[in-house]
């Protein structure tokens, strides 16, 4: 499909107005304060994986309302010192699958926590193991529309809280440097990583690719692809629910989280992405850190003109690896991987 969103020069200036709720900060402070009073970890159990160079644990931590949330935690076998930790959030409809499926970050030398998605895991991949016991409020059957009529009941209130609690839980795991926790994600996972960047003030870095829940109003006007199409399908049946739905979604708007973020950030987007339109990614990037109360955080974005939701694929992951290693090296982080020299093409098209 040809590019369908704004031209790149307009995307680079795109700063849409937000209908941000006046109690946005109070709502999230209340939600997270309640959850933050509990010890994060419920169980940590070593598991066999058939991998000789990686050690893995099956972790359960407390998420929203103290609910148990599953995760895989991995470290390079033989690592002796505490390592920076990458917390990875996965895409819409996926579960955590098997621990041998996502090895990039642990093979790069990081401790790695892969969070399961509550109430998801039945659409793609190899499933998950975290139910959502609160999915009974009015709304649609799919995650994006569960509890859509109230911001207190919405699925993403619970999932974002889980994501923040994962960033807390990883600090208590063996062999982790608690001062250097990084949030990483693509698509829904990118939206969760961005929310964590806005809600966790001491995050070391964030890597956000094709984030869901950014520029939501415009995305609902542009695309019928899921998950936005699932929200539209619900509203097509429940005529007159638009105002309540938009109010709910304003509390999970990624641009609002981006405005509050303080950590260095690396973005990526495909300009032909009809699942998470690039205007949402650029809206978050352009307003990232504007409320941080300090000089704007270090920001970088890469756009792939001929790619859709797959974005830059392996090339983008290599850019992420080099960018993160470089940022941690600048901070003198012990145990962090050393950056490789970026190639000429990478140096030529850096932006931000």
Instruction: Looking at 206-339, list the stretches that DSSP marks H as alpha helix, in order from N- to C-terminal side.
Output: 216-222, 228-237, 242-250, 254-260, 278-286, 313-330
Catalytic residue among 67, 162, 273, 322: 273
Burial zone of 326 (CB within 10 Å; 0-12 exposed, 13-18 middle, 19+ buried): middle
Strand, helix or coil at 11? helix
* DSSP output for 133-181: TTTTSSS-SSGGGTTTT-TTT-HHHHHHHHHHHHHHHGGGSTTEEEEEE
CA distance 289 to 197: 10
Whether 99 contacts 74, CB under 8 Å = yes
**Tokens (6 digits) for 61:** 């931590």
Strand, helix or coil at 319? helix
Identify whether 227 is preceded by a cis peptide bond (ω within 30 of 0): yes
CA distance 325 to 330: 9
Catalytic residue among 74, 187, 256, 279: 187
Per the annotation, the verdict on 273 as an active-site residue is: yes
Closest CA to 27 of 156, 179, 185: 156
CA distance 211 to 189: 7
Instruction: Looking at 36-154, list the stretches that DSSP marks H as alpha helix, in order from N- to C-terminal side.
Output: 104-107
Q: What angle do CA 262, 61, 68 make, to 5 degrees?
A: 120
CA distance 144 to 162: 16
Closest CA to 189 of 271, 93, 89: 89
Catalytic residue among 151, 266, 309, 316: 309
Strand, helix or coil at 115? strand
Closest CA to 40 of 190, 134, 163: 163
Per the annotation, the verdict on 246 as an active-site residue is: no
Per the annotation, the verdict on 224 as an active-site residue is: no
What are the catalytic residues?
187, 273, 309
């Amino acid at each position: 499909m040809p590019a369908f969103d704004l031209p790149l020069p307009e995307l680079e200036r795109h700063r849409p107005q937000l209908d941000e709720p006046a109690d946005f900060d109070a709502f999230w402070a209340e939600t997270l304060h309640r959850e933050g009073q509990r010890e994060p970890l419920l169980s940590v159990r070593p598991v066999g994986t058939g991998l000789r160079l990686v050690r893995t644990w099956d972790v359960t931590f407390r998420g929203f309302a103290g609910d148990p949330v599953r995760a895989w935690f991995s470290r390079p076998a033989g690592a002796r010192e505490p390592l920076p930790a990458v917390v990875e959030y996965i895409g819409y409809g996926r579960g955590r699958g098997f621990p041998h499926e996502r090895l990039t970050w642990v093979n790069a030398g990081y401790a790695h926590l892969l969070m399961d998605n509550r109430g998801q895991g039945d659409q793609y991949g190899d499933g998950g193991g975290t139910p959502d016991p609160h999915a009974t409020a009015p709304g649609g059957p799919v995650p994006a529309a569960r509890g859509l009529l109230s911001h207190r009941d919405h699925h993403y209130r619970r999932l974002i809280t889980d994501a923040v609690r994962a960033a807390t839980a990883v600090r208590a795991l063996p062999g982790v440097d608690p001062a250097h926790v990084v949030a990483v994600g693509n698509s829904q996972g990118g939206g969760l990583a961005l929310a964590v960047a806005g809600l966790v003030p001491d995050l070391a870095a964030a890597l956000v690719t094709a984030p869901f829940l950014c520029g939501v109003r415009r995305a609902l006007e542009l695309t019928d692809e899921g998950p936005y199409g699932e929200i539209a399908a619900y509203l097509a049946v429940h005529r007159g629910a638009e105002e309540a739905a938009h109010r709910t979604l304003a509390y999970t708007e990624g641009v609002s989280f981006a405005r509050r973020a303080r950590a260095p950030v690396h973005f990526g987007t495909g300009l032909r992405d009809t699942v998470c339109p690039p205007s949402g990614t650029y809206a978050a990037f352009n307003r990232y850190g504007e409320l941080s109360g300090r000089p704007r955080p270090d920001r970088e974005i890469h756009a792939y003109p001929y790619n859709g939701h797959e974005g830059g694929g392996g090339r983008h992951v290599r850019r992420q690896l080099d960018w993160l290693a470089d940022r941690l090296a600048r901070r003198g982080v012990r145990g962090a991987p050393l950056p490789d020299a970026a190639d000429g093409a990478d140096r030529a098209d850096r932006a931000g």
